[in-house]
Chain A
Amino acid sequence: MSGNSLQPGGRGNPVNGLLNVLVTLICWGYFIFAFLFFFAFFYLASYLFAADREKSFQYLNFRFFRGFLWLLRSLAPRHSWNIDPQIANIRGSIIVCNHLSYLDPLLFLSLLPRNKTIVKTKFFKAPVFGWLVDISGYLPSTTEGIYAGKMIQQVEKMSVFFKSGGNLFVFPEGTRNPDAGIGALHKGVFKIARMAKCPIHVLGLSGTDVLFTPGKFFFNTRLRNKIYLKIIETIPSDTKQGTMTVSILEEKVRCAFQKQKLLYEGRLV
């Protein structure tokens, strides 16, 4: 992986290992204690008093994960973060990105105050977390049982959500894929783009899998690494020639991902 320099000594050193454990525990401690002793009160107040509960929860999610990312970045300063500043200005769009690590959705939640995403249906059943994703207006990934109604409700509201400046971020490969190839893309997001006639921003992400490697529990805080998040391309779904088909949108996004992979591998300038 060009762009990531893995210095020797990052692995196998007991002091580094201890620091990794410590940083991981502090960060996951934030998840529990910052929520319980700080954010829970705001979520409760929003639930009871907010005029737009969904919007309010999305903003609280943004603040909560912003805090988490700030903490992680502070405790792992060897990882440099290069986030395209234009991403903060994206409004009323679908954002698609390659998926490398469990950190990726948290990063997106920390970048934009009005965000929705598609969440595995099993998470809607989880205590507390399921309640949060439900009230935040996130979409279930399947329509089994009671989730059919939720899916219909959310999809029907998407056009209004985009018009009010909200974004939907999705990892169309569906699962983490740190390998060189591009996995099969789920078409659901392109169908929503066609339906809502909103643009698709294709983003390229690299390096989060070095900080939080799939299959590992602890962060790799001691490695020197560069994390990039860039806008690769913006694809309008609605043009003067009419609305693009799902196949064309999928092909354009695939090409953009391919371009990002080539850039990442240093084959393009």
Chain B
Amino acid sequence: MTRDELEKNIVTILVDEFEFENPGLSDNLRDDHGFDSIDAIELLAKIEEMLGFQLTRKEKEQAMTIRTINDILDYIESMQDAHQS
């Protein structure tokens, strides 16, 4: 999946499932949209569905430091790369 496709999918999920309003790629997820660790865990399940493979516990723990949508996209790309190699 390209970064543009990932961005479109993630923004759709955040708007439809997490009630985000006009999310910006550099918004602070916690401060601007009230996105917390429980949301992050739910989003990880959706990312797994999107990517078609399971993330390990360690990979999920890495996601807990994500702060922006750009960080989410970087994270997904790095997971794609790691699972392809």
| A174 vs chain B, min Cβ distance (A) | 13
| A250 vs chain B, min Cβ distance (A) | 11
A5 within 8 A of B: no
Number of A-B contacts (CB under 8 A): 36
Find out whether the CB atom of B19 lies under 8 angstroms from the CB atom of A245: yes
A152, B45: Cα distance in complex, Å: 11
| B21 vs chain A, min Cβ distance (A) | 11
A74 within 8 A of B: no
Instruction: Please tell me the size bucket of the interface on B.
Output: 10 to 19
A246 within 8 A of B: yes
Given contacts A187-B34, A188-B38, A191-B39, contact A246 B19 (CB under 8 A): yes
> A151: which B residues are within 8 A, CB to CB?
37-38, 41, 64
| A143 vs chain B, min Cβ distance (A) | 4
Contact of B41 among A155, A187, A245, A246 (CB under 8 A): A155
Find out whether the CB atom of A152 lies under 8 angstroms from the CB atom of B42: no
Interface secondary structure of A, over-half rule: helix
Find out whether the CB atom of A195 lies under 8 angstroms from the CB atom of B64: no
A247, B19: Cα distance in complex, Å: 8
B61 within 8 A of A: yes
A195, B36: Cα distance in complex, Å: 14
Q: Which residue numbers of B lie inside 8 Å of A, CB to CB?
A: 19, 34, 36-39, 41-42, 44, 57, 60-61, 64
Known: A152-B61, A156-B41, A191-B36. 4 other contacts (CB 8 A): A152-B57, A191-B38, A191-B39, A246-B19
5 CB contacts below 8 A, A to B, read A142-B37, A143-B37, A149-B61, A151-B38, A152-B61
